[in-house]
Each structure stands twice: as structure tokens, then as C-alpha cells.
Amino acid sequence: MKRNRLNVNIAGLQLANPTILASGILGYSVATLQSIVEGGAGAVITKSVGLKPRQGYANPTVVQTKCGLINAMGLPNPGIDEFVNEIREAKTVLDVPLIVSVYGFSEEEYALAAKKAAGAGADALELNVSCPHVKETGSEIGQNSEILAEVVRKAKAAVSKPVFVKLAPNVTDIAEIAETAARAGADAITAINTVKAMAIDAETAMPILSNKKGGLSGQAIKPIAVRCVYEVYERVKIPIIGCGGVTDWRDAVEFLLAGASAVQIGTAIATKGPNVFKTVSSGVNTYLKRKGFRSVKEIVGLSHRN
Ligand code: DHB
């Protein structure tokens, strides 16, 4: 990798730049992951995969609002035993770190999905303990500190790769949850997953999504995500990956100043296309140069100084 001021190291993973494809967006096929890498992503994260295949919810699963997208897909995925083939193929073609997002309905399920993903070549795992609407997984795990700690411990014991823990914003104190994950051995915290939301159709007088409630993403949630990163940074020493509404370089810089070591981008791909990764990182580079910084690292958490 060519050394430059955009390089970052997250829990041992070397990234050419601090932009990462967020989980859930285009994350199943090697071809779409490749298009994101060509768009400039420093790493990619797959859509969440669990032990068994899941169909997901009936349509509609996505609704566009004035200020962002609400989705409730219902964790559709082919199951890890099928998905390992995609992971193996992805490893032969992608030249950036591949992070596999996993979920489960118990501590053991998270650990087994993580183990199988790592065995197929995943460079790191991201535990989805924050999906806002599927029963008995996601945020139901991430909101219970005892279960969360056990999920993280078991996943760490099952793999020798870095384990990221993606947290939900729909909680009273995200920093406390981050601390629980860090104590249990998490290598990094991703903050945040979507914000629990819904939309109702005035004509039919019914909720629009088939699942009624879903998760809001996009620009509307960025200030919430920045606040969460800021709070988590004050409590844990492990790296934080910012996620939520990053659309341009200024958003990315804001997350870095709040304490993130890198940012994930998802919803903005729908409006800006895969090249959003290049646009964001070249804007961050110009900012660093203009301000006289030699690396991304120099501005991580800079807004916390007194
Ligand atoms: C889904 C999962 C998530 O973690 C999320 O934030 C939103 C949607 C899903 O597959 O439905």
C-alpha cells in the first residue's frame, strides 16, 4: 500500500483511506463489493449473515422520507454455509480488507457465524447487536449488557481476527454499552446503526413498511451519530468507527474530530454512487493538507481538547 496521510490502522487492519462500506448496502455479491472498492472504499463490510438462510420481510421493505431512508428488510441472507463461498471469492478479487457482519439468536450462534466467516477468509467481523426490529437478535442483544458481554466474549474466543461491535443509538447511554463491549474484548466499536423509525401513509392510513417499524439512515441521523461517537470516545480506548449520514468530506471530518478513526458510508451511495468514497477521502486529504496535518490520526478526537 502506498503510504500517505489518509492511511489508517483499525485494530490491526491497514486501510488505504478512512472510508468503509457500511453493512447492509450492496453487501452480498462480490461484483457489487468490487464496484465499491473501485469507487474508493478503504474496506468493505457485508450485509449481516446468520447461521440459517432467511427470506426477510415482505415488501415494502424500504421507504424514502424527506430526510432519509427507513428500512426493515428483516435480515434477509443466504446463511453462512452458503455465504462462505462469496467470502472466499471476494478474498481472491478484492484488494481491501473484507469485514463480515454477523448476527445470531444466541451467543453461540454469533460465535459460530463469526468462526465460519473467519475460516473462509474474513479479515475482521462486525457483530450486529443493533438491528432495530428483528425479534431476539440485534438490539435485543445489544441492550442487555450481560448478553452483549457474552456474545462478544464467545465471538472473540471463536476467532483470531479483530471483532468490531456495532451499537444502536436507541438506548439511554451508548457509552456504557460501548464500555461493556470493550471490557468483553471488542477490538473496535461501530457507532451507530439505524435509528428506530416509522412512516404512515395518509391515504391508506396504514404504516408503509410491511414490518411497520424500521431503521432510519441518511443525513437526518448524522448529528445523532456524531453525538454518540463523541460520548463513546470519552469512555473507551479502543478505536471507534463512525457511521450515520456521511455524505461529504465535511461529515467525515466531523466524525474524526468527534473521535472516530474511520467512517462508514451507506445511504449516500444511493444518491452519489460508488465514487462517494473517493470524493469523501480526497476531500479529507485536502482538509488535512490545508490544516497542516500529516495523518488522519492527528485529528481523531481533536474536538475533545479543553
Ligand atoms: C436491517 C438490519 C439492520 O441492522 C438495520 O439497521 C436495518 C435493517 C434488516 O435487515 O432489516
Compute the mean pLDDT over every residue in the chain, rounded to the nearest whole number: 96
Over residues 38-64, the pLDDT tens digits come to 999 999 999 999 999 999 999 999 999
**2 pLDDT band (50/70/90 cuts)?**
low
Q: Quick one: which atom of ligand 1 is closest to the CA of 133?
A: 11
- Asked whether the whole model's pTM tops 0.75, one would answer yes
Q: Quick one: which atom of ligand 1 is closest to the CA of 57?
A: 11
Cα-only R_g, the chain: 18
Query: 23 C-alpha vs ligand 1 centroid, how far in Å?
Result: 9
pLDDT at 1 over 70: no
pLDDT at 169 over 70: yes
Sign of the alpha-carbon dihedral angle for 248, 249, 250, 252: positive
Mean pLDDT to the nearest integer, 134-150 = 89
**CB atoms inside a 10 Å sphere around CB 18:** 27
How far is it, in rounded angstroms, from Cα 288 to Cα 19?
15
Residues with CB under 6 A from ligand 1: 24, 71-75, 128, 130-132, 138, 193-194, 215
The dihedral formed by the CA atoms of 131, 133, 136 and 140, expressed in degrees to the nearest 10: 60
How far is it, in rounded angstroms, from Cα 3 to Cα 87?
27
**293: helix, coil or strand?**
coil
How far is it, in rounded angstroms, from Cα 167 to Cα 242?
11
Query: 248 C-alpha vs ligand 1 centroid, how far in Å?
Result: 23
pLDDT at 160 over 70: yes
Residues 6 or more apart in contact with residue 26 via CB below 8 angstroms: 32, 33, 35, 36, 269
Instruction: State the pLDDT at residue 105.
Output: 95
Q: Quick one: which atom of ligand 1 is closest to the CA of 194?
A: 6
Task: Show which residues are catalytic.
Answer: 131
Sign of the alpha-carbon dihedral angle for 22, 25, 29, 33: negative
Over residues 62-102, the pLDDT tens digits come to 999 999 999 999 999 999 999 999 999 999 999 999 999 99
